[in-house]
Amino acid sequence: MAIALQHITDQIRAAAAAKTPLRIRGHGSKDFYGETRQGTLLDTGSLTGITSYEPTELVVTVRAGTPLPELEAALAEMGQCLAFEPPRFGASGGTCGGMVATALSGPSRASNGGVRDFVLGVQLINGRAEHLTFGGQVMKNVAGYDVTRLMVGSLGTLAVLTDISLKVLPVAPAEATLVFAVDQATALAQLHRWGGQPLPLNASCWLRDDSAPGAPERLLVRLRGAAAAVDSAIKKMTQTLPGKLIDPAQASADWSACRDQRLPFFTQGAAKDAAGGKALALWRLSLPQTTPVLDLPWPQLVEWHGGQRWLWAPASAQQQLRQTAAAAGGFATLFIADSAVSTGATGIFHPLNGALMAIHQRLKAEFDPVGIFNPGRLYAAL
């Protein structure tokens, strides 16, 4: 570990002296995400291992290059989990550093919180080749600026993560998934009503299955909690809206596919793109959960009780999508674009206003004064 850490530190110091950009990378499972990827490769894959795990304290510290499946397997042995359900992309499943740098969360995000809510502390190397520690292994340990959470979602533009401390949670004692045959408007309205009741809602997904005859529309709702609470919720919800339970094994497979974007909506959207010769992109709209059905011509998949909506649309639709999202109080991200799609004028992420961009630039100058870390990955000006 010490040798690997020293090698990375030396590479950063040399790059800073030569003003040579570095492209930070673990397993590369999220190379598709973000703007341009340029510079000399800085591989964090050698920084592996769980350095500290206290199951009774619900805290684990892991090195940034540790494969995400390896961490989740260790937690599962103790009946614990990452409550934000980070997605796995690619054969390796990605690394813990990539999980924090991209801040991507899975189906339970709306109920349990996101990556940022579970990161307790980090160790990092800044653009001056200084190895620094922020935060710790408890929730209430922050005095002054919360630097730890600045790293979440920064896409490696501020520093190289070396170690991460995370809060974990016990696996829920009971789980069930209900499916309802309803259209999107009914699903959103019902989720809003259920959200105001004491129900153990954990995740939801509304989708239309264009691959099946009649293109059925379905709402899946996952319940997690005490067995009595889950049983009571099943009875109450199915009395309100006709629905049925899904076999647990099938439900588990479906939620994993939703988390990792392996549902037909995600895979067939890309296939239609190739077959039709049109350059479609996968867009993610992050919105208030109470936002009604959007007046858009493209099929959608709705998660997070209405808070996250996916759709395949041309990159040229960016103005319409971003105006629609902004009008609802949210934003639109061009999540996956074919290599033939030019994103130079479009931009991957929703544009920042002048004040927010100025803050981003000052943070970049403080952590990475020469600008060597993942230049342009988040925004062209960073």
What does the pLDDT look like over 334-373, one tens digit per residue? 999 765 554 555 589 999 999 999 999 999 999 999 999 9
Model confidence, pTM: 0.92
Q: What b/e sequence results for 364-381 when a residue is b if at least 16 CB atoms lie within 10 Å of its CB, and e otherwise?
A: beebbebbbbbbbbbbee
Measure the CA dihedral 149/156/312/183, to 10°: -20
Q: What's residue 62's pLDDT?
A: 98
CA-nearest of 243, 213, 209, 212 to 223 is 243
The backbone torsions φ and ψ at residue 333, rounded to the nearest 5 degrees and listed phi first, read -120, 130
347-352: long-range pairs with CB below 8 Å, 24+: 347/35, 347/318, 347/379, 347/380, 348/33, 348/34, 348/35, 349/34, 349/35, 349/378, 349/379, 350/322, 350/325, 350/326, 351/322, 352/379
| 214-254 confidence digits (pLDDT tens) | 779 999 999 999 999 999 999 999 999 999 999 999 999 99
Q: What's residue 355's pLDDT?
A: 96
Answer whether residue 173 shows pLDDT above 70: yes
Answer whether residue 139 shows pLDDT above 60: no
Question: Which one has a higher pLDDT value, 137 or 160?
Answer: 160
Q: What's residue 1's pLDDT?
A: 67
Q: What's residue 5's pLDDT?
A: 92
Helix (H) or strand (E) holding 72: helix 68-77
CA-nearest of 320, 272, 315, 264 to 297 is 320
15's CB contacts (< 8 A; 6+ apart) are 21, 22, 40, 42, 372
Q: In whole angstroms, give the CA distance from residue 251 to residue 220.
A: 9
Answer whether residue 144 shows pLDDT above 50: no
User: CB-based burial of residue 83 (10 Å sphere; 0-12 exposed, 13-18 middle, 19+ buried)?
Assistant: buried
Percent of the chain with pLDDT over 90: 82
Q: What is the DSSP string of 200-226?
A: -EEEEEEEE-TTSTT--EEEEEEEEE-
Answer whether residue 309 shows pLDDT above 50: yes
Question: Which one has a higher pLDDT value, 168 or 2?
Answer: 168
Paired strand residues for 63 = 163
Q: What's residue 124's pLDDT?
A: 97
259's CB contacts (< 8 A; 6+ apart) are 85, 87, 88, 106, 107
Answer whether residue 280 shows pLDDT above 90: no
Sheet with 280-286: list strands edge to edge: 244-245, 174-180, 217-225, 201-208, 300-303, 308-314, 280-286, 331-337
All structural domains of the chain: 2-170+360-367 (3.30.465.10), 174-249 (3.30.70.2190), 264-337 (3.30.70)
Mean pLDDT of 136-159: 77
Answer whether residue 281 shows pLDDT above 50: yes
Answer whether residue 142 shows pLDDT above 60: no
Q: What's residue 258's pLDDT?
A: 97
Are 138 and 343 in contact by the 8 Å Cβ rule? The answer is no
